[in-house]
Amino acid sequence: MAENTAAETAIEQNKMGVMPIGKLLISMGLPMVLSMLMQALYNIVDSLFISRVSEAALTAVSMAFPVQNFMIAAVSGMAVGVNSLLSRSLGEKNYDRANRAANAGIVLAFLMMLIFLVFGIFGAEPFFRLQTSDEAIISAGAAYTRICCILSFGCFGQIMFERLLQSTGQAHLSMISQITGAVLNIILDPIMIFGYFGFPRMEAAGAALATVIGQIVACCLGLFLNLKYNKTLTINLKKYRLDGKITWEIYRVGLPSIAMQSVGSIMNLAMNMILMGFTSTATAVFGVYFKLQSFAIMPVIGMNNATIPIIAYNYGARKKERILKTIKLAMISMQIFLTIITLVFLFFPGMLLQMFDASENMMAIGIPALRTMGLNFFICGICICSGAVFQALGNGVYSLIVSVMRQLVVLIPVAWLMSLTGQIELVWISFPLAELMSLIVSLFFLRRIFKQKLNNME
């Protein structure tokens, strides 16, 4: 009884239901933006240092990205389902269901980790042999992937504990966990890659080890912060055992998100295979673009993650005006930021490539590639924000449809057809074309969900 009273007091004071929307988006979004930027440093810093080893090592880490992306998709997508259910439950003042959702999310995250552990042991080397016959790339890539997968419990735990903090309005605490892990990774990267201070020179394997150590520390810190400061939720795996109904509710929203993000892994793998038909340098350029894209898009994803619980909470509380204002302000802020990023890719592609110690050949391929693919940023803001609306209102399958159409139905077939011309410059055009299609489909679904769930809300 006392536990419910404490939870009710916390919920009634929940800023997601009472704080002005503009201030709320900043207070929740800014810590998430900063924390997502720090998370993106895990991948981009690895590549910055690895590029100083060799172009083959950079290509190997780039080709490992589909596995890393799938790993993050598995836990992040499931966390979307947890956040949606948890926030709606809090808005409805159903505290027991909120606690069951949170504890189920923790258990499910670590169960999924076991799948990647097995893949790391048995599948890392075959995965690279599927893409290339270059033994230097295979050796470096398999070592990097094996370590990331076998020790992936840090990644899974870190993301889940941080999302629990974010979904209860404690985004500033999740930022502490993110920054700690990222800073530790940045410090350890050069030490383990190049063998400083008595450590052996591990190159690609050292980058992976630095990454997982940062994730494990962040995971432990995230658990501590939830237990110590998150008064809205009670983490007790014995009391709140895994429940079939709650698991279904989580995956009903989460599975489309997992599939949507996993589509990116399939696309990445297919593009690597298409580009290897030209040269391994083209694959390295694509890898650099994806690292830069991941870093540039993280502030938008952070704002998106702040938007989802706000919309879900106010939908549960039946506050239509707050939902509409959240969507409007989120879209405007995302579009302004992404327009700036587009200009950077258009006017400074050479500077971006130089950060990765690009060779003359890599610059020749990479400059037109970054300019063409950089047009994506100007188009994708509304698509990303629409995805947040779909997920928050329990229609994650819309996001899945948009993602599949963009990356599998349009991007890969167009890229393959363009590759038949033998002109690699034409392959890059497939990216803005696919993004334009996704914008059209996103607007169609956004209009539909407004009619179904928001227009008639009292």
Q: What is the pLDDT of residue 202?
A: 93
Q: Is 222 exposed, middle or buried (0-12, 13-18, 19+ CB in 10 A)?
A: buried
53-94 tens-digit pLDDT:
888 888 888 888 889 888 988 888 888 888 888 878 887 888
Confidence of residue 432 (pLDDT cuts 50, 70, 90): very high
168-221 tens-digit pLDDT:
877 778 888 888 988 898 899 999 999 998 889 999 999 999 999 999 999 999
Q: What is the pLDDT of residue 222?
A: 93
Q: What span, in angstroms and rounded, lies between the C-alpha atoms of 269 and 15?
A: 42
Q: What is the pLDDT of residue 96?
A: 87
pLDDT at 3 over 50: no
Q: What is the mean pLDDT of residues 233-250?
A: 85
Q: What is the mean pLDDT of residues 314-339?
A: 86
Q: What is the pLDDT of residue 6?
A: 46
pLDDT at 8 over 60: no
pLDDT at 420 over 70: yes
Angle at 328 between CA 448 and CA 398, to 5 degrees: 30
Chain Cα centroid distance, residue 412: 21
Q: Percentage of residues in the chain with pLDDT exceeding 90?
A: 33
Q: What span, in angstroms and rounded, lies between the C-alpha atoms of 423 and 445?
A: 36
pLDDT at 2 over 50: no
Q: What is the average pLDDT value for the chain, to the nearest integer?
A: 85
Q: Is 439 exposed, middle or buried (0-12, 13-18, 19+ CB in 10 A)?
A: middle
Q: What is the pTM of this model?
A: 0.74
Say which residue, 327 or 216, is predicted with more confidence.
216
Q: What is the mean pLDDT of residues 16-27?
A: 76
Q: Is 314 exposed, middle or buried (0-12, 13-18, 19+ CB in 10 A)?
A: buried
Q: What span, in angstroms and rounded, lies between the C-alpha atoms of 161 and 146?
A: 24
Least confident of 183-192, 312-321, 409-418: 312-321
Q: What span, in angstroms and rounded, lies between the C-alpha atoms of 194 and 52?
A: 10
269-315 tens-digit pLDDT:
899 889 988 988 898 899 889 888 878 887 888 788 788 888 888 88
